[in-house]
Chain A
Amino acid sequence: MNTVLVLIALLTVGAAVAALSGRNLLHSVLLLAGAWTGAAAFYLWAGAEFVAFAQVLVYVGAISMVVLFAVLLTRRSRDDLAPGPASRVRAGYALLTGAAVAAVLLAAGARTTLTPASPPPPVVSVSQIGGLLMGPYAVDLLAAGVLLTLALIGAVVLAAGDRPGNPDDAP
């Protein structure tokens, strides 16, 4: 069982590292989609079917599309690569910040005591998840929904501007 986990972890982290280090933006987005699929595979391995499929549906299906759309619409040409690190000093700062975050995470991980034999994961059906989301967690769900709607409206307001309508754009 653990070899499967190690394989999933290697694939996910490998795809993420390749996405970050690559200079071709389109490749990075596709690799990122691969990393998200890896996360979904991990959920599946952990027995959380619903979360795994939702992850693929939302991240691989929708969010990667939006990212690709944004990349394609904003680049001037196909060979317009991501800018490299401007100077060694900036690269140093970036490394320093990354190392600090990694240290905090590692410290947190080292302090957690892991039970050697984990109990069997609880079997949760989709209808139970639905009941929980509509019952005890209804407020959280609504808050997340309102937040996302506000962000969406804000994005529309920012993007729309107040240009006069072009009569040629009429249907």
Chain B
Amino acid sequence: MSPAATTNEPILERAPVLLRDWLTGSLPERARWVVNSLIAIAVLLAVFGLLFAFLTLAERKILGRIQNRPGPNRTGWFGLLQPFADGIKMLTKEDIVPRTADPVLHFLAPVAVLAFSILTFAVIPYGRHLVPVELDASVLYFFAAGTATELAVFMAGWSSHNKYALLAAMRALAQLISYELPLLLSFVPVVLAAGTLSTTGIVAAQAGWKWHSVPHWFVFTPWGAAGFVIFMISALAESNRSPFDLPEAESELIAGHLTEYSGFKYALFFMAEYFGMCALSGMAVTLFLGGWQAPLPVLEVIPSYAWFAVKLLGLLLGFIWIRATLPRLRIDQLTRLAWKFMVPLALVNLGTAAFWSLTFAWAGPLQLLRWGVALALVAGPFRLLGRGLSAGLGPRTYRYA
């Protein structure tokens, strides 16, 4: 929350900064910096903590409706108090550590997984004036902090001394090694187009509208759309969400690395999973959906952080919808999808983005050619690789006894 607000902006846009300055304005310079940082941390934890609580409720409600049942509806209005009831239950449960477990790692794993997923929140620009930490290489920081969470999943699985947990740990490692690459490759075109690794710079590069109606978001370019899809699929895998929830896989591994965790440690894992999902969605909004930019010039009246929240919630609901719709993949299908499909597509997408930025000056009929070539560069490899991936699988015929 560093940049100073200018006075000709609407009051709602400046409200968070004004409120903070009113609170800390009378403090000396050094103390003010510390208190400002503490306020930013407290606000982030409170907002995302509450978002986590109600996201679990929303997920259970939406999954329930999709499966034609009401979902939790006994605690409070529409089950609104359910997250708090769950929290109290988790806190009062017994904390069980298996006798043969590695006690230090068993304790350290939930702490590490949560700590690293909270670290990633630091660099996302939540609004025009709401950037907790501005770094020159903030995108790199985000992914560096995010990778360490899978290490914690491995620690949890291995230290439990349980075959299901160990299988989950192996799966988590295989999944990370496979999906790290497309995730990192899919944001490289954005860095290429924006010319910077800082999240504020990337959001600023997506400012403005074409013909006063089409925003300059990267998702509205051929390479941006392809990159966004690759990023979101990899994000699903990185946050261990269905259809890539192989490390937990309740139906085959009885929750995998979580098998030997109970009470609040289990809740910490759960929290970290949702935090990771929120952070990756926030990053997707920043990289491809224009960050906090409004979709139309008229709509700029609504403050930027509200736009960010709308986009973030949209992506999170998409995550829940996908979970309700798609069946889980097998581990070999998962790795094959990553190495034979996503990685080559992401590499080709880099070339498409390079072509797009080299032909920046093309106008008139050449513009049509530019779109045509870029779309062909996206769709052609997709068709070819897709055919290779599904070769010999054909449409299945089922015979019933």
Cα-based distance from A97 to B141 in the complex (angstroms) = 39
Kindly list chain A residues whose C-beta atoms are within 8 Å of the C-beta of B155.
30
- Interface: B214 (CB within 8 A): no
Q: Are A126 and B392 in contact (CB under 8 A)?
A: no
Kindly list chain A residues whose C-beta atoms are within 8 Å of the C-beta of B392.
170-171
Interface residues of B in 319-341 (CB under 8 A from A): 332-333, 336
Please tell me the number of chain A residues within 8 Å of chain B, measured between CB atoms: 25
- Interface: B300 (CB within 8 A): no
Q: Are A127 and B195 in contact (CB under 8 A)?
A: yes
Q: Are B144 and A126 in contact (CB under 8 A)?
A: no
Given contacts A30-B155, A126-B197, A171-B336, contact A62 B137 (CB under 8 A): no
- Interface: B51 (CB within 8 A): no
Interface residues of A in 16-72 (CB under 8 A from B): 26-27, 30, 33, 49-50, 53-54, 56-57, 60-62, 64-66, 68-69, 72
Cα-based distance from A78 to B157 in the complex (angstroms) = 13
How would you classify the secondary structure of chain A's contact residues: helix, strand, loop or mixed?
helix
- Interface: B147 (CB within 8 A): yes
Query: Taking CB as reference atom, which chain B residue is nearest A56?
Result: B144
Kindly list chain B residues whose C-beta atoms are within 8 Å of the C-beta of A60.
144, 147-148, 151
Interface residues of B in 179-235 (CB under 8 A from A): 180, 184, 195-197
Cα-based distance from A78 to B100 in the complex (angstroms) = 11
Cα-based distance from A72 to B163 in the complex (angstroms) = 13
- Interface: B158 (CB within 8 A): yes
Q: Are A125 and B136 in contact (CB under 8 A)?
A: yes
Given contacts A26-B158, A127-B195, contact A65 B150 (CB under 8 A): yes
Q: Are A171 and B333 in contact (CB under 8 A)?
A: yes
CB of A74 to closest CB in B, whole Å: 13
Q: Are A62 and B196 in contact (CB under 8 A)?
A: no
Give the segment of B41-49, B170-178, B249-257, B362-370 that binds chain A: B170-178
Given contacts A50-B137, A54-B140, contact A61 B180 (CB under 8 A): yes
Please tell me the number of chain B residues within 8 Å of chain A, measured between CB atoms: 33
Q: Are B137 and A49 in contact (CB under 8 A)?
A: yes
Q: Are A53 and B144 in contact (CB under 8 A)?
A: yes
Cβ contact of B173, chosen from A50, A54, A68, cutoff 8 A: A68
Cα-based distance from A71 to B336 in the complex (angstroms) = 23
Q: Are B136 and A49 in contact (CB under 8 A)?
A: yes
CB of A54 to closest CB in B, whole Å: 7
CB of B133 to closest CB in A, whole Å: 11
Kindly list chain B residues whose C-beta atoms are within 8 Å of the C-beta of A127.
195-196
Kindly list chain A residues whose C-beta atoms are within 8 Å of the C-beta of B141.
49, 53
CB of B301 to closest CB in A, whole Å: 35
Kindly list chain A residues whose C-beta atoms are within 8 Å of the C-beta of B32.
none
Given contacts A49-B136, A53-B140, A171-B393, contact A72 B170 (CB under 8 A): yes
Cα-based distance from A119 to B174 in the complex (angstroms) = 46
Kindly list chain A residues whose C-beta atoms are within 8 Å of the C-beta of B393.
171
Query: Taking CB as reference atom, which chain B residue is nearest A128?
Result: B136
CB of A46 to closest CB in B, whole Å: 15
Q: Are B137 and A53 in contact (CB under 8 A)?
A: yes
Listed residue (A62, A72, A78, A126) with the most chain B CB atoms within 10 angstroms of its CB: A126
Query: Taking CB as reference atom, which chain B residue is nearest A26?
Result: B158
Q: Are B136 and A33 in contact (CB under 8 A)?
A: no
Cα-based distance from A50 to B105 in the complex (angstroms) = 30
Listed residue (B141, B144, B332) with the most chain A CB atoms within 10 angstroms of its CB: B144
Kindly list chain A residues whose C-beta atoms are within 8 Å of the C-beta of B144.
53-54, 56-57, 60-61
Cα-based distance from A69 to B154 in the complex (angstroms) = 10
Cα-based distance from A69 to B184 in the complex (angstroms) = 21
Cβ contact of A69, chosen from B177, B196, B333, cutoff 8 A: B177
Kindly list chain A residues whose C-beta atoms are within 8 Å of the C-beta of B150.
61, 65
Query: Taking CB as reference atom, which chain B residue is nearest A54?
Result: B140
- Interface: B161 (CB within 8 A): yes
Listed residue (B151, B392, B393) with the most chain A CB atoms within 10 angstroms of its CB: B151
A–B Cβ pairs within 8 angstroms, 29 of them: A30-B151, A49-B135, A49-B136, A50-B136, A50-B137, A50-B197, A53-B140, A53-B144, A54-B144, A56-B144, A56-B145, A57-B140, A57-B143, A57-B147, A57-B184, A60-B144, A60-B148, A61-B143, A61-B144, A62-B177, A65-B173, A65-B176, A65-B177, A68-B154, A69-B174, A69-B177, A72-B173, A126-B197, A171-B393
The 3 closest A-B pairs by CB, nearest first: A61-B147, A56-B144, A53-B140
17 more A-B contacts (CB under 8 A) besides A64-B151, A127-B195?
A33-B151, A50-B137, A53-B144, A54-B140, A56-B145, A57-B140, A60-B148, A61-B150, A65-B176, A68-B154, A68-B173, A69-B170, A72-B170, A72-B173, A126-B137, A126-B140, A171-B393
